[in-house]
Amino acid sequence: MGRLADRRVVLGVAGGIAAYKAVEVCRRLVDAGAHVTPVLTAAATRFVGPLTFSALASEDAHVALFDGPDAIPHTRLGQQADVIVVAPATARVIAAYVAGLSDDLLTATLLATRAPVIICPAMHTEMWEHPAVQDNLSVLRRRGVHIVEPEAGRLAGGDVGMGRLADADRIIAAVERALTAPDLGGLRVLVTAGGTREPIDPVRFIGNRSSGKQGHAVAEEAAHRGAKVVLVTTTDRATTAGVDVIRVDTAAEMADAVFARSEEADVVVMAAAVADFKPSTTRDRKIKKSDGIPEVVLEPTVDILAELGRRKRAGQVIVGFAAETHDVRANARRKLEDKRVDLVVANDVAEPGAGFEHDTNRVLLIGRDGTDVDVPMSDKREVARAILDVVAPRKGMA
């Protein structure tokens, strides 16, 4: 039996056409040995009857706060659950969860738990792309909630687009992952994130388009898996509790912050886009347009990653990133050698939806030990998981 055996799973089902697919998710969870309690919203019962779930699951389906002999079903369900998975999650359930509203059994149960929560959104493309929904999902991610992104395909009413409930395989895999013991417990992980800014004068700088999302996702995932995490970042992006944040701007500041802590780190993940060049002088006063076109002379910055490779102590794992536009695998292999790192996370920044600023990424993981993993287009948190899955066994932690 796998990780789901004998685990208590609350399966939340919200009112979307994808509610019928929750029947398959329920069956798969039960087949894997889990004790499943389905909790349906009122709208969900318009699509699938609670009887269907009761017949399949090990526990009766619940539909309302006040439908049974139990006076406080939400606290009992929330406290006893090992994991809660909501599939499908509608925009309403997501918004209620973000706001802390608890006006039905499902939303009340979501608030009354300390168990990991997995949200599997499904809705029409317009709703999925609405900033209200995307902002709410960002808040949930920050709170450590796992989001299983929807897929593109056929939607209700014959429409086609993004927003279809994730495949049952992906949902089950997410539930299994959420039940994984913290496999990085005791590990000290140092992560960098964001693009550095090299000042020309007090108001101008040379920067790049890195958003810091991938580095933050690595830090958050490492903390979630029990590591002690220090994140050196150039962004003001919020992060989860348990991540020790050091805010820097320039490559030199990042280098100082990293070298001060790299000695004691078991794993260093250089996800930051560090400038390769900086202005050789920074003016104290703003350069005036009336002074004519200025000449900006550049000089190289410290290559933090290469220096980490030189200083690497036995047992330490150094992970570098490579943003490439062509020959991704070959360039990653070269970087592995040039910078003496253990793993290179290479992404093709020319590919739509990958790399800078996006919420998703598609990467190749190329390791010194022969690791060659192609991570398909996924949420950056998912990419972070794949990176740490490669790192964990090297540290003998998994």
Binding segment for ligand C5P among 22-30, 79-87, 180-188, 296-304 (CB under 6 A)? 296-304
Q: Tell me: does residue 274 bind ligand C5P (CB under 6 A).
A: yes
Tell me the sheet residues that pair with 268.
Answer: 190, 318
Element (H, E) at 243: strand 243-247
Binding segment for ligand C5P among 67-75, 77-85, 238-246, 298-306 (CB under 6 A)? 298-306
Nearer to ligand C5P, 63 or 322 (CB): 322
> CA 251, CA 39: separation in Å to the nearest integer?
51
Member of 41, 210, 301, 347 binding ligand C5P (CB under 6 A) = 301
Locate 73 and state its tokens: 């079903």
Write down the number of H helices and E strands in the chain.
14, 19
Binding segment for ligand C5P among 33-41, 206-214, 266-274, 280-288 (CB under 6 A)? 266-274
| Whether 361 is catalytic | no
Q: Closest approach of Cβ 296 to ligand C5P, in Å?
A: 18
Member of 25, 304, 328, 383 binding ligand C5P (CB under 6 A) = 304
Member of 276, 299, 337, 372 binding ligand C5P (CB under 6 A) = 276
Q: Count residues contacting ligand C5P (CB under 6 A)?
A: 13
> CA 384, CA 388: separation in Å to the nearest integer?
6
Nearer to ligand C5P, 34 or 270 (CB): 270
Q: Tell me: does residue 268 bind ligand C5P (CB under 6 A).
A: no
Provide the mask over 220-259, with x wherever binding to ligand C5P is found by CB under 6 A and - wherever it is not.
-------------------------------x--------
Q: Tell me: does residue 332 bind ligand C5P (CB under 6 A).
A: no
Number of C-beta neighbours around residue 314 at 10 A = 4
> CA 24, CA 62: separation in Å to the nearest integer?
18
Site for ligand C5P, residues 65 to 84, rule: CB under 6 A? none
Q: Tell me: does residue 25 bind ligand C5P (CB under 6 A).
A: no
- The residues near 343 (Cβ < 8 Å, ≥ 6 apart) are 317, 318, 319, 320, 336, 365, 366, 367, 368, 371, 387, 390, 391
- Closest C-alpha among 246, 247, 252, 306 to residue 275: 252
Member of 320, 346, 380, 392 binding ligand C5P (CB under 6 A) = 320
> CA 143, CA 169: separation in Å to the nearest integer?
24
- 8-state DSSP, 86: E
Member of 97, 128, 205, 321 binding ligand C5P (CB under 6 A) = 321
Contact 313, 340 (CB under 8 A): no
The single residue listed with the structure tokens 């390769």 is 276
Nearer to ligand C5P, 12 or 195 (CB): 195
> CA 184, CA 191: separation in Å to the nearest integer?
14
- 8-state DSSP, 313: P
Q: Tell me: does residue 366 bind ligand C5P (CB under 6 A).
A: no
- Closest C-alpha among 259, 225, 229, 260 to residue 244: 229
Q: Closest approach of Cβ 274 to ligand C5P, in Å?
A: 4
Interface with ligand C5P (CB under 6 A) = 251, 270, 272, 274, 276, 301-305, 320-322
The residues carrying an active-site annotation are: 208
